[in-house]
Structure 1
Amino acid sequence: MRIPVLNIRQFHQEKHLNEVYVNDLSQHLELNRDLIDKPHSHDFYLCVLFLAGYGVHEIDFKTYPISPGSIFFLKPGQTHFWNFETRPEGFIFFHSQSFYELYFLGHGLSFFPFYCSLQNPPLLKAPPEIINSLAKKFEETALEFTGNGMLREMKILNLINGIYIELTRCYTSHTDLDKSFSPGYSALLTRLEALIEKHFREEKLPQFYANRLNITTKHLNRVVKTTINKTTSELISERVVLEAKRMMVHSPVDLSEVAYALEFSDYAYFSKFFKAKTGSTPSAFQRLYR
């Protein structure tokens, strides 16, 4: 089984707004049950607010609790799956990168900390005092999506941008903004993650990425350490391990094929690498997860 990659057009038949989708969460889950009842990923950005309900949300093999006030953010390509204990309520919206960035030319989606880096947590627990105001903003966006007013797309876009601004303020309320939002460092981290995403199979050493960014390996490590408190090698290894896990769980290939696809010299080397990074052999992880 290969994990499905869902597209916005699979969720609705709206002729004039095919790059954005907004809905009441309960209705969304009911209408799209067949699409989302198993692990999947998307080719769009997603934001969901829970106003009621409990359960867990698995994102790229990490499990996060769902409770009232939970807000999740997903970037394209991330694998996720819901498991609800009680009926959830709230709102959900998602959109393509172009839907947002064609209008807001001054900044991209990576400007927001929850989309800036996959290293940043995909979960925000909103404080009780702002949940009602957030819910009203999400509800207004959903109502605009189902209406037919003039300049509807522009209004939806501005509402989503306003939500992102409020969520950024909440997300960074206990963060050293001078460190986390250094424009130069944030831009380099974004470029580094894009390069790793493109080359992690064949290039596993920091020197390659430093050369592509036209900086020294020492400076690249300084950027990564300052922004997310990791090394460049750790970032590369984590992406390789994540891909290995995705293949082992969601693809019909044997473990030697996983090693080959990730360009390890042989399975023994891959197994040693995987165990050093996760504490488990590939076969043990595969058995446990399945």
Structure 2
Amino acid sequence: MNVIPSFTLYADGKTNVAPQFVHIETIPLRSKKNDWIIRPHRHPELFQMLLLTRGRAEMRLEGDDFQLDAPALTAIAPNAVHGYAFQTDVEGFVLSVSDAYLRELLGATGDQEATDILAASCVLSLADLKDAVDEMRAACQRIAVESQGRRVGRQARLGADLMLVFGLLAELGPDGHGGKVGESSADTVLFDRFRMLVENRYRDQLSIRDYASELATSERTLRRTVKARSGQTPLEILRQRIILEAQRDLLYSAMSVSEIAYGLGFQDQAYFSRFFAAATGQSPSRFRENHKSGWSGTVAD
């Protein structure tokens, strides 16, 4: 049975991520030895950013394809399935950071918009944003130096540059991820805890009442908070997460529809198929047929 590969760093296997894990490398360092192709995979505990400063690449992010023309930036949230095919003349950096560490750093600033950007992946063109590109490149270069050194104050300097990079990402990223003016800190905490609980338990077929109980709150409070923070109901967020994982399995694994349904907590394949079709407009089999072969993993020079 094929499953979507999970790595700490691509092709290095899955190991425990250190509490303050930070890794940076140039794009060619890992891509060249893999024939410039990074096959679809995911990083369960890492947030990853790729800064393309020269050349072109093709990217697959979840089920969508993108062409990257330098300068460009990709931000990959934990567990997002992604892959690249690079030209051989590319330059840039790949920065991988423990999601928990980033949240700790950004949370300490009280900047909710910067923290919220970690919840979603995005692809950004940096054309006509020379100053931002130069700032990010310089910060990545400093992170590379500090990552190899042992100077006193190293961790503080790394943290400062990480906050610079992700502050810029929050500024440049798509609208709609930031918190709302006047939003209480208690609501923010509850919403973040709900999202984390969904990530950990979406396969368990819990009801929203179960989620509220796990979070030691009422269903009414949970619904009000989630709606205010996201514009969606808790059930909509939960269903979207289940559908996203089903789509990943259909696109990137050889599991049968019944195996995928069972892995997502459905005891009845027919019910899973109806659930999937109601959300996507296609049966699981038709979705796989229409999308699986869509990414060639090649890029023209």
AA in 2 matched with 1:233: L
Q: What secondary structure sits across from 2:95 in the alignment?
A: strand
Distance in 2 (alpha carbons) for counterparts of 1:113 and 1:104: 10
Q: Which residue of 2 aligns with 1:214?
A: 216
Residue 40 of structure 2 corresponds to 39
2:3 is matched with which residue? 2
For residue 86 of structure 1, report the CA deviation from its aligned partner.
Answer: 7.4
Residue 266, structure 1, aligned to residue 296, structure 2: no
Aligned residues: 282
Report if the CA contact (8 A) 1:55-1:67 is conserved: yes
| Paired residue secondary structure (1:200) | helix
Deviations 1:109-133 (A, max 9, x none): 9862221x2xx44334443442222
Q: C-alpha displacement at 1:48, in angstroms?
A: 1.6
**Residue 173 to residue 2, structure 1, CA distance change in 2 (3 Å):** closer
Contact 2:36 2:87 in 1 (8 A): no
| Secondary structure in 2 matching 1:193 | helix
TM-score relative to the length of structure 1 = 0.80
* Distance 1:30-1:154 versus aligned 2 partners, 3 A rule: farther
Tell me the amino acid that sits aligned with residue 5 of structure 1: S
C-alpha RMSD of matched pairs (Å): 3.5
Conserved 8 A contact 1:180-1:186: no
Please give the alpha-carbon distance, in whole angstroms, between the structure 2 residues aligned to 1:228 and 1:26. Answer: 38
Query: Against the structure 1 CA distance between its residues 178 and 256, is the aligned structure 2 distance closer, same or farther, given a 3 Å change threshold?
Result: closer
Structure 1 residue 269: Cα displacement: 0.9
Structure 2 distance, partners of 1:151, 1:25, is: 27
Structure 2 counterpart of 1:235, which letter?
I
Partner of 1:61: 63
Structure-2 separation of matches of 1:175 and 1:214: 26
CA contact (8 A) 2:116 2:179 kept: no
Point out 4+ residue stretches in structure 1 off by more than 6 angstroms.
Answer: 101-105, 107-110, 172-176
Instruction: Give the counterpart letter for 1:178 in structure 2.
Output: K
Q: For 2:244, which of 242, 245, 250 is the aligned residue?
A: 242
Q: Which has the higher contact order (CA 8 A, sep 6+)?
A: 2
Q: Does the 8 Å CA contact 1:46/1:74 hold for their aligned counterparts?
A: yes
1:143-176, Cα deviation, whole Å (9 max, x unpaired): 3334564544443333222222233334388877
Q: Residues 264, 113 of structure 1: CA spacing in aligned structure 2 closer, same or farther, 3 A cutoff?
A: same
Q: Does 2:103 match 1:114? A: no
Counterparts of 1:172 and 1:267, CA distance in 2: 37
Q: How does 1:151-166 map to 2 (within 5 A)?
A: 151-166=153-168
- Worse overlay, 254-263 or 83-92: 83-92
Matches of 1:46 and 1:269 in 2, distance apart? 36
The whole-number CA distance in structure 2 between the counterparts of 1:172 and 1:207 is: 32
Runs of 5+ unmatched residues, structure 1: none
The answer to whether residue 228 in structure 2 is matched with residue 226 in structure 1 is: yes
Amino acid across the alignment from 1:289:
H
Q: 1:189 to 1:281 in 2, by over 3 A?
A: same
Percent sequence identity is 23
